[in-house]
Amino acid sequence: MGSRIRRETLVKWAPLLVLIVLCAFFAAMEPRFLSTRNFARILIAASPALMVAIGVTFVIIMGSIDLSMEGTVSVCAVAFAFCFLWLGGTLASWAWLALPVAMLVGAALGFINGLVHVKLRIPSFMASLAMGFVGTGLAMVMTGGDRIRIEDELFRSLLTERFLGFPLMVYVAGLFLLVAWFIQTRTTLGRNFYAVGGGEDLAIASGLNVNRVRVLGFTLAGVFFSVGALLAVGRIGIAETATGNNFMFLSITAVVVGGTALWGGLGGVWNTLVGVLIVFVIGNGMVVIGLPGYVQDGVLGILVILAVILSTDRKSISFVK
């Protein structure tokens, strides 16, 4: 019992300790790492990825996995851009309606993703991966390979306007993080995610509609993917097919490194926040001290392996679904 408690304590606090050690290491190597400007740079890059990773977190808590984020982000970004320009091209007009439209598109894609997984009884990783490809192809058809520029000053103020040294998009990401935490801890749906991930058979025996919970989980993930898409467009001012590129690696890595268990039932959005910060602190720190990008990928790969080793009791779990 004592060894188990020590293991659980280590798993719980290890990601935060890793983040602190990384910050101390990079600060020792380059004092500029601790500057407000550099922290703002890290948070700007991390904000869209955090939203996508939060969406993935809800699905992984259920014991499933969602790999559709790249296609979903691209479609939501492009749909937002077209709708935004069609409605006037500025938030001062009716173009603000493009924001909820993008979120509805994300929810719809997530809903379809969940239905394909549940109704056709296709493993979640395969169903979502296929949906991701469909989304990327749809975004390509919508744009014809072109880039759509969003130049509205009000919308771009997400990046350009700052409060206490940090741009508005960081505070928007923080707001949605709190919304995700509320859903996770204060709603029946959030508790049901843990119930399904903790034991599907037990959840069914207790009368829980597991299929409904899974579909809602994928739908909610799609909403957060769309928020990530909006922040990504706000960051660079461009919507294109490539908007969703690299989000799969970043989000899955962040969730795992943050300590959310791949088999479900453990972890949460605060773990994901720490995981995202670890990923982007490593990326930023490597650049600051002058190390090449492939070293960053190697370090992240090692951290993922260590996180899985720490969080998985391989004596009781023979495989991860």
Q: Where are the domains of the chain?
A: 44-246+260-267
**Token pair recorded at residue 159:** 């990046």
Give pLDDT tens digits along the chain (321 positions).
Answer: 555 555 566 667 778 888 888 888 888 888 888 888 889 999 999 999 999 999 999 999 998 999 999 999 999 999 999 999 999 888 888 899 999 999 999 999 999 999 999 999 888 889 999 999 999 999 999 988 889 998 888 998 888 888 888 999 999 999 999 999 999 999 999 999 999 888 877 888 888 888 999 999 999 999 999 999 999 999 999 899 988 888 988 888 889 888 887 777 778 899 999 999 998 988 888 887 777 767 777 777 777 777 666 655 544 444 444
Contacts of 53 (CB under 8 A, 6+ apart): 250, 251, 254, 255, 272, 275, 276
Give the residue among 40, 59, 65 at the shortest CA–CA distance from 269: 59
Give the C-alpha separation, 260 to 248, whole Å.
16
Q: What is the pLDDT of residue 321?
A: 45
- Record the pTM: 0.90
Q: What is the pLDDT of residue 293?
A: 66
How large is the C-alpha radius of gyration of the chain? Answer: 20
Give the residue among 225, 233, 242, 223 at the shortest CA–CA distance from 80: 233
**Token pair recorded at residue 225:** 């993917």
Say if CB 148 and CB 239 are below 8 A apart.
yes
